[in-house]
Structure 1
């Protein structure tokens, strides 16, 4: 139960999230291994080791000379001993700043069980930010809704993470109190276009949304960003999107209503099949651009879902 500075209203847990709650996610990343066995594309990815020719930070091995190797790295002792030219290989750490795109639009103010989507998006962003800084990289991003977007330039400190999370918590706290909402179907694409102008190369760009407004332009912007950066989509879902409860329901988009019954003409089965097809189609489409997609459910604890994904990816 928590209060926010925009209202004295008290909300049930999972409806809004405070800065204090987001700051606690620093402790969820303490047990994550900092050196994965191989490079991975994950929401939590930060610094990674890459083998580069030439001088670097740490000596790794000696191998047979390959045309194009820097002659300054020839190991003359090994070469003399083996009568075959050998080169030293160094291991250099490349910086991988993280740029999080956090959706806090009204479409995410929905949840049928444990949390609402907007709270889940905020928690995912907090985990990503703390993990990035813990690994020694910079973190920044954009927090947005239909009315505005806040840009936070990348930096490397806990105080900067707090600044980012403050923006997220402030925008999250506005959701229950919004009375006038400007419907903007292009808001996600506008933010992705802006992201493409802000990040240069070698970023880890994490886009956190339910992608309910995604269209062909969305994939065009994602492909552009992914050309020189690692992009990860975190798709926030809700159990009610996967299966509707049995019985008669009145469904509405705010303008129209429809009477729904799962048992009529196999409606429930087709509804679930359509959801699974959506997930598969999105995953396959993004695979073409080397963009991983992770689905996070509002009906389960967020950190365990992410930690399971991260640990599974690095095995």
Structure 2
């Protein structure tokens, strides 16, 4: 591909070169973790789950199904009630990215398409996760994309994700898939200790999305990056504009005062709905516009969690 073609595609199509270059922005930064462990052989992170592992956590009343080998005989003798020991289990963390390739993502009026900005954000997250020693994978949905890259560690794992983002972006069609359907596929790839981060404009959400998301939240840390374009926040200057989506053209008359005053409301309602559902489940939510500084926008994912967060850029 010659340079003139690259210039035409800049901001419209995902390029592997741009995603690779983001590795420089990830240097010295890694995704937040619960606690770093010195027991590298059993994993790089301390899990929030309780089970058999290297660090004693507490004793509790014996429950049916508990391993009798973990009985805490001292507490049992002292209290007169059977107690079992619980341990904090060491597990290797992973990051599973959920990438929305639905037709609405292939739109942008400032700098680049939402689809391109989404790929840039996902790539930077992948580089940061790898810097922490985490495995990285991705699942694509919408746009006829029904593929996945299973989480893998190291530079090889990141490269597999970046190539998939490039290939899927170039192959995306006008087909649609809901978030609920994609989440059911994602659950098959999720393993204990895996983060799940959705990168989307939110228009893929449907009624089935939230029960599926809640099932994931029971065992996994969630995150969401909501990508939007400036035109979804406020109308353009007065005038008549031609829009094209999936082969359909439509003329919008922004001289109309009613259209101008109500234009941003449905876009804001979608973002608010998705944001609220993720926050309700304790997830971090970041808003990212097509002309934002990606690294600055996703920095909340590098901070230790203090509770649900919501930020925009």
Q: Indicate the residue corresponding to 2:281 in structure 1.
A: 289
Q: Indicate the residue corresponding to 2:254 in structure 1.
A: 261
Classify 1:135/1:3 alpha carbon distance in 2 versus 1 (closer, same or farther; 3 Å). Answer: farther
Classify 1:73/1:295 alpha carbon distance in 2 versus 1 (closer, same or farther; 3 Å). Answer: farther
TM-score, L = length of structure 2: 0.73
Deviations 1:13-48 (A, max 9, x none): 322232222122222222226666889xxxxxx965
Classify 1:93/1:268 alpha carbon distance in 2 versus 1 (closer, same or farther; 3 Å). Answer: farther
CA–CA distance in structure 2, aligned partners of residues 31 and 155 of structure 1: 21
Secondary structure in structure 1 of the residue aligned to 2:22: helix
Q: Indicate the residue corresponding to 1:24 in structure 2.
A: 21
CA–CA distance in structure 1, aligned partners of residues 143 and 9 of structure 2: 24
Deviations 1:252-306 (A, max 9, x none): 56546354326613x4333334443433332222333333322111022212211
Classify 1:189/1:285 alpha carbon distance in 2 versus 1 (closer, same or farther; 3 Å). Answer: closer
CA–CA distance in structure 2, aligned partners of residues 160 and 240 of structure 1: 35
The counterpart of 1:112, out of the listed 105, 109, 130, is 109
The counterpart of 2:92, out of the listed 83, 91, 95, is 95
Classify 1:259/1:33 alpha carbon distance in 2 versus 1 (closer, same or farther; 3 Å). Answer: closer
CA–CA distance in structure 1, aligned partners of residues 95 and 176 of structure 2: 26
CA–CA distance in structure 1, aligned partners of residues 35 and 192 of structure 2: 21
CA–CA distance in structure 1, aligned partners of residues 305 and 261 of structure 2: 31
Deviations 1:205-247 (A, max 9, x none): 1121212132101223222222222222221111110111120
Classify 1:67/1:216 alpha carbon distance in 2 versus 1 (closer, same or farther; 3 Å). Answer: closer
CA–CA distance in structure 1, aligned partners of residues 213 and 150 of structure 2: 20
Paired residues for 1:193-212 under 5 Å: 193-212=184-203
Q: Indicate the residue corresponding to 1:86 in structure 2.
A: none
Secondary structure in structure 2 of the residue aligned to 1:141: strand
- How far off its partner does 1:91 sit? 7.1
- How far off its partner does 1:67 sit? 7.3
- How far off its partner does 1:53 sit? 7.8
Moved more, 121-130 or 253-262: 253-262
Moved more, 152-161 or 103-112: 103-112
The counterpart of 2:262, out of the listed 270, 279, 287, is 270
Q: Give yes or no for contact 1:113–1:298 (8 Å, CA) kept in 2.
A: yes
Secondary structure in structure 1 of the residue aligned to 2:264: helix
Moved more, 46-55 or 105-114: 46-55
Classify 1:47/1:240 alpha carbon distance in 2 versus 1 (closer, same or farther; 3 Å). Answer: farther
Deviations 1:89-118 (A, max 9, x none): 987643221111122343211111112111
Moved more, 243-252 or 133-142: 243-252
TM-score, L = length of structure 1: 0.73
CA–CA distance in structure 1, aligned partners of residues 18 and 249 of structure 2: 37
Q: Give yes or no for contact 2:34–2:47 (8 Å, CA) kept in 1.
A: no
Classify 1:174/1:54 alpha carbon distance in 2 versus 1 (closer, same or farther; 3 Å). Answer: closer
Number of residue pairs matched? 285
Q: Give yes or no for contact 2:30–2:131 (8 Å, CA) kept in 1.
A: no
CA–CA distance in structure 1, aligned partners of residues 33 and 193 of structure 2: 18
Secondary structure in structure 2 of the residue aligned to 1:280: helix
Deviations 1:160-182 (A, max 9, x none): 2111211111222346xxxxx4x
Aligned residues: CA RMSD:
3.9
